[in-house]
Structure 1
């Protein structure tokens, strides 16, 4: 058996991994002091500067921030209103990369968003706003059905919009991107499990439920940062 000449340092590293609170301490500061650190925000910049200082404290050399230009997304104000058969505003958030919108359309409920449900309803989806929840293995399907697939199937079916319902009670709206390098093709918003269930009950009782969605989201050039540092070796090679 070959001797492991790195055994001592590997033991030290593994010991630190399992006994040090440093990673959690850093994460606590990032969350408590810099908030969500959403792309393009002051919190993101402050978090990058915090990590830069941490790498300096850990003894890395040539520590610096490397700016990255990209097309980011800024969440605006978003409202979801039921306008028929009753009038009621439902709390919601836009899904990242959702385009700005001001639209009215009927709802269509696809439950857990199983692919077979999209196939079953077919042309009925066109021009309507699809509701589908966040369950990742709908109906016991043997693969993961991602939010992006449910959104994409809605787009391909000609939907006017997409409402993503959190399938976990008590956690508010779910979130996650719906665009790649720019705006999504149709507006997408999210509501909580409880609000989603309320709207689904309306659809079940009344058949037709009409909504209005207004949002001011936008994609625009932004700057993010890589935090880079060098860990020099002890030998020339």
Structure 2
């Protein structure tokens, strides 16, 4: 059984290297996929992995549909007055939106659930939906799903308003795998969304006139994934992953600079016990997660998955030091972290269910044992994530150090030669996705990975 020596744990609790890297990543500002900041982040992470003592450090480029923010504004007619909203605290264009100016009736569609659009003709309208999914709905309805329902219902534009007060307008991708989405789209702050909802409710027919203007640049670009290895040269390997890109409206400190820093922190811990590792560990920091999981799809379709024993992907871990692991039904993964919980006498929650919106998903859907690590957060939603408020000052070095130790201990256990970790038949994953209603949203957005749909741009050339 592989355990972390006390000296190694102690050193991890005083090591500031990963924290300093996180500050550097945050200071890059714009790490949007394909942008210069993302390339700079890849270089920083590669240097940090090499300094940690990893071998075979590489940076691999791959094609993506790039997107560059320009301007956005919303002009609203109410009570005989026109008000224009164009401040960054009020609204931001959603990555993947096309450019365009549309005028139409603004219609509030509530939560933007599938049933909210049933029989609804939004031809020529600008649809507005909340970022909230009710807790009792059974599954999370993704932003891009609401966007596609609006477009399919004939809407000419889409507004996505935050449900968390003071958290500023949310961003997030609405593009397709081969380019921009169908209609112009922006995110709104909760406060602006509440104001517009109030105006709609006060109107005679439930809508008000508005003009949405969006300018953005959509063109091919290149993203980068960084990887390195530790441990012996074995036929199998354990992947520990995160993503290095981030939305440009904040600094991407939490999402997912924290995860990228965790990879480096875990690499430094495991490098100190390199001779004790029984299976090779591959550290992978993917590019272009935020705009369609491009890095992980590209990696999983250009490597032999038979050699991947298991994957632990960390995304959404900056909220606290309370670790959660979602094994997605992979036998042995949850048990490894339960042992870590017992060994360190700290709570680690092992949760059931699917989480199909991060870099473990391309592996899960193909039967590889793959889980997501994250930390718990108070309240609903991602908090400051995907907003201007995702900044370094909201994070805590103690959280990074504790999660580094727990994740490193878990990865070391997963790398034990005699520890069985089993993936799932892809058909059972598909059936669970259908049972949970996830297929509804994935079919709506063209990302359902079973059947004729091809939710990654390299499927034809790599299949």
TM-score range, shorter chain: 0.7 to 0.9
Cα deviation, residue 83, structure 1:
3.7
- Would you say the 8 A contact 1:97–1:219 is kept in 2? yes
Q: Which residue of 2 aligns with 1:109?
A: 108
C-alpha distance in 2 between matches for 1:186 and 1:17: 52
Indicate which of 153, 156, 173 corresponds to 1:160. Answer: 156
Indicate which of 176, 190, 194 corresponds to 1:193. Answer: 190
Q: Which residue of 1 aligns with 2:131?
A: 134
Deviates more, 1:162-171 or 1:143-152: 143-152
Q: Which residue of 2 aligns with 1:11?
A: 4
Q: 1:191 to 1:16 in 2, by over 3 A?
A: farther
- Would you say the 8 A contact 1:96–1:179 is kept in 2? yes
Within 5 Å, give how 1:21-170 maps onto structure 2. Answer: 21-31=16-26, 33-83=27-77, 85-90=80-85, 91-119=90-118, 122-123=120-121, 125-137=122-134, 140-170=136-166
C-alpha distance in 2 between matches for 1:12 and 1:46: 34
What is the SS of the residue equivalent to 1:93? strand
- Would you say the 8 A contact 1:97–1:218 is kept in 2? no
1:179-222: per-residue Cα shift (whole Å, max 9, x none)? 22211011111110001111111111124411111121121111
Q: 1:225 to 1:154 in 2, by over 3 A?
A: same
What is the SS of the residue equivalent to 1:55? helix
C-alpha distance in 2 between matches for 1:143 and 1:201: 28
Q: 1:12 to 1:112 in 2, by over 3 A?
A: same
Bigger relative CO (Cα 8 Å, ≥ 6 apart):
1
Q: 1:67 to 1:174 in 2, by over 3 A?
A: same
If the length of structure 2 is used for normalisation, what is the TM-score? 0.45
Cα deviation, residue 81, structure 1:
1.1
C-alpha distance in 2 between matches for 1:117 and 1:46: 43
Q: CA RMSD in A?
A: 2.6
- Would you say the 8 A contact 1:80–1:213 is kept in 2? yes
Structure having the higher strand fraction is 1
- Would you say the 8 A contact 1:137–1:145 is kept in 2? no
C-alpha distance in 2 between matches for 1:28 and 1:51: 12
Q: Which residue of 1 aligns with 2:222?
A: 223
Q: 1:158 to 1:12 in 2, by over 3 A?
A: farther
C-alpha distance in 2 between matches for 1:95 and 1:189: 5
What is the SS of the residue equivalent to 2:120? helix
Gaps of 5+ in 1: none
